[in-house]
Structure formats: structure tokens, C-alpha cells
A and B are shown apart, each in its own frame.
Chain A
Amino acid sequence: NAGVTQTPKFQVLKTGQSMTLQCAQDMNHEYMSWYRQDPGMGLRLIHYSVGAGITDQGEVPNGYNVSRSTTEDFPLRLLSAAPSQTSVYFCASTSRTEAFFGQGTRLTVV
């Protein structure tokens, strides 16, 4: 009964490096989303997907790419990490009535 699995839990990157945050869900939900959470800012939507092959931008998409090749997986790619991307990242899988969140990834860009 895994729900939403996010990896890694912690990551330190150097400026300019790239990486992929992984997210997988086993609830067969169509909707998945990526959020970042910064102190005092709440959860801000980066990208979301309404099904395999379909993605769209949220409030803060710059510097991030996503793809959705399967229903289960929704990876988030940082193309060239910047210190402004230091944050806690959450993946969510959404039913018609509620969102289920992963444990989060704490990313530090130095």
C-alpha cells in the first residue's frame, strides 16, 4: 500500500547541475502534480498532468521540465540547478476528491 513514492529524500546539487526527482503512484490516478514549498509561501504548483502524455504548467514552471509516459510515473527534471531552486518539493497524486502527497524531497543548490 505504497501510495505516492518520491525519491530522493535529500539532495545537494551544485549550481548548473541537472537532476531528476522521481515520483511514482500506485493508485491509478489520472492527475499528478509537482509543488515546491518555501517558508511562508505555501505550496506552489510547478507542473501538473491530467494523464499519460499530457502535461501543463503551473504557477512557477521556469527551470523545470516534466513528462508523463505512464500513468504511474511523473518525474520532475531540473535542467540547470540554481540557488533559487533550493526548496522542498512535493509530488501529489490526485483523485476526484483529494490529493495524496509523497514524503517530499529537500533540495539544496549551492
Chain B
Amino acid sequence: SQKIEQNSEALNIQEGKTATLTCNYTNYSPAYLQWYRQDPGRGPVFLLLIRENEKEKRKERLKVTFDTTLKQSLFHITASQPADSATYLCALYGSSNTGKLIFGQGTTLQVKP
């Protein structure tokens, strides 16, 4: 069956360091992959999208890589700040154009001052 796995353990890092979050998937051939941020009590908010033919995408302090051979995406936050503390979700979108997004369980990031 299709499966999306993110590290369920919280990631704790020091302010200024780079945070790296992992998203692995099996039995899936996504057209593209997305990353969302979710704060407590709020809905997820879109951050970045990377397509299957792209290796890397950047937006300000955020960088996403997408390896369709390894079936893995890495999400990096450079020069992390306490305000980056949140839960980060990866989501896969198939090529059937249904708007159907499948989410991983999310990884909670805590950036300590």
C-alpha cells in the first residue's frame, strides 16, 4: 500500500543551525511533492512545491530536494529561528489530476534560542 513516512520524533536544534527534515514514500509515483507548515490550532500552510523532474527548489531560507530514485525528499531550514518552531508536513500529489493530496504524519521542529 502507499505509504508516506516522516520522522515522528521531534527535532530539537539550536538557533542558527540548519534543520533537516525527511520525507520517504513507497508504492507511489508522485507528480510533485509539497511541504506545509502547521502551527498549533491552525490549518496547514503551503510552503514549497517541487516537481518530479526537479532536483532542488529554494525559497528564502528554505530548500527542498526531491530524489525519485530514493523516493525521498529533504526539507532544509537554514539559519533557523525560534519562530520556525512548528510541525512540518510533506504531501504527495499524484499525476491523475484529482487534487488528491496524501500527507505524511508530520515532524515537529523545536528551535531553541
Contacts and interface: CB of A to CB of B under 8 A. Distances in A.
A99 B98 contact: no
Interface string A15-51: 0000000000000011111010000111111001010
Contacts of B113: none
Nearest to B8: A40
A31 B99 CA distance: 5
Chain A interface secondary structure, helix, strand, loop or mixed?
strand
B64 interface: no
Interface residues of B, number: 24
Interface in B1-42: 4, 6, 8, 32, 34, 36, 41-42
B104 A42 contact: yes
A12 to B, nearest CB: 17
Nearest to B100: A48
A84 interface: no
Nearest to B90: A42
Contact of B103 (A35, A48, A102): A35
Interface of B: 4, 6, 8, 32, 34, 36, 41-46, 49, 89, 91, 98-106
27 contacts: A29-B99, A30-B99, A31-B98, A33-B100, A40-B8, A40-B105, A41-B105, A42-B89, A42-B106, A43-B89, A43-B91, A44-B103, A45-B100, A45-B101, A48-B100, A50-B99, A92-B43, A98-B34, A98-B46, A98-B49, A99-B34, A99-B36, A99-B44, A99-B91, A103-B42, A103-B43, A104-B41
